[in-house]
Amino acid sequence: MSQPLNIAIAGLGTVGAATAQLLRDHADLLAARCGRPIALRAVSARDRSRDRGVDLSGVDWVEDAANLAKVPGIDVIVELIGGAEGVARELVTNALAAGRHVVTANKALIAHHGSELARAAEGKGGSLRFEAAVAGGIPIVKALREGLAANGIERVYGILNGTCNYILTEMRETGRDFNAVLKEAQKLGYAEADPSFDIDGVDTAHKLAILAALAFGSEVDFASVHVEGIRKVTADDIRFAGELGYRIKLLGIARRTEAGVRQRVHPCLVPESSPIAHVPGAFNAVVADGDFVGSTVFEGRGAGGGPTASAVVADLVDVARGARVPTFGIAANKLAKPRPVAISGHRGAYYICLTVRDMPGVMADVTAAFRYEQISLDSMLQRGRAPGDPVPVVLETHACEEAAMARALAKISKLSSMLRPPRMIRIEAF
């Protein structure tokens, strides 16, 4: 059999330990599929004494992860530390400069520095692979880069964060509010102690920026992603959406237009008839619209040790086989320069929830603000309350420009009858 592919793993958390275990459990299967063994030769992590549930006997331990790039005989560095800067960036940069291959699950690193690292990898004859950085065990990176290579991709979108999807699913199924479900998600391990990275949409934005680069053959442009999270979604919004025939999902959406690429992350009302409306719990789903293939849907577990380790090792298998493909499907020096399109130019329908004082003329003032911006209403829900109580009014609009909607809501928010700021959620007709 051919010489083994010698690898080093930086980071032995949930994913790192699962990757080491997978390599041991499936050693014979992987060797048969690769035509050569994949050998774990070195590791690095902060706590050497911690029991990770995997046998690491015979594996060299390197105290400083950045030094893994200097270990003789290592073919591939597997970076599972995380973070866009610090040791992770230093290790990957040094490994690529030395002509080593790099496999990573680090979406922040790729979102912020992917184009630069791709040029470094391709300039030295190495490869940079990151299947595990987006949607866990779903092979969406390979699908966009290779499986759909014959297509012009017009749009890619999806549920890219399991924490948010779990929270929104539980809110819909139990009727509880956001804070109560978030606390439960933290107890169950679906949400971090500090969940802001997930619930504020940053994690989804990192992944969307990577998908957009793959889909459209452009440099990664995280800075241009419009980002909103789910903190403001209420139990009432979930209930009203259901009455209107929708479910609320946090989506990342990238679309190519004549003006450029618009990337946005925010809660959406999606029709209950659409496949993505029924993606449950902590699952992820990605949809890619190709000009010849049509819509392709990928669904599965988007996080966790097993699914993510599966994606990491899939990249190692490609390296072991000698598969050569540009990092983003197009040579790094040929990637298009970003041409971002602002969210203000988005055109679509909207869900608006107003909390008003029950008094004559309220709706006349509201509709006047919409009429001035040439926004027409499609439907309205109003629930009666006791005299003097706040009254929720839900409006569904026809398609209009985002900038016009923003101006209308700014006027409405200043009305004396408004008891709370208006809540707006975009409607996507998938």
CA-nearest of 286, 288, 313, 318 to 301 is 286
Rounded Cα gap, residues 411 and 169, in angstroms: 33
Rounded Cα gap, residues 396 and 116, in angstroms: 44
Rounded Cα gap, residues 290 and 68, in angstroms: 40
Task: Reply yes or no on whether 232 is catalytic.
Answer: no
Rounded Cα gap, residues 42 and 58, in angstroms: 9
Q: Which of 107, 142, 207, 249 is catalytic?
A: 207
Summarize the chain as % helix, strand, coil (round to 5): 40, 25, 35
> What DSSP string runs through 289-343?
EETTTEEEEEEEE-SSHHHHHHHHHHHHHHHHHT----TTSS-GGGPBPP-B--G
Both structure tokens of 79: 């970076």
What are the CA-CA distances from residue 263 to residues 44, 125, 222, 266, 402 (Å)? 36, 31, 9, 10, 14
Contact 211, 329 (CB under 8 A): no
Show which residues are catalytic. Answer: 207
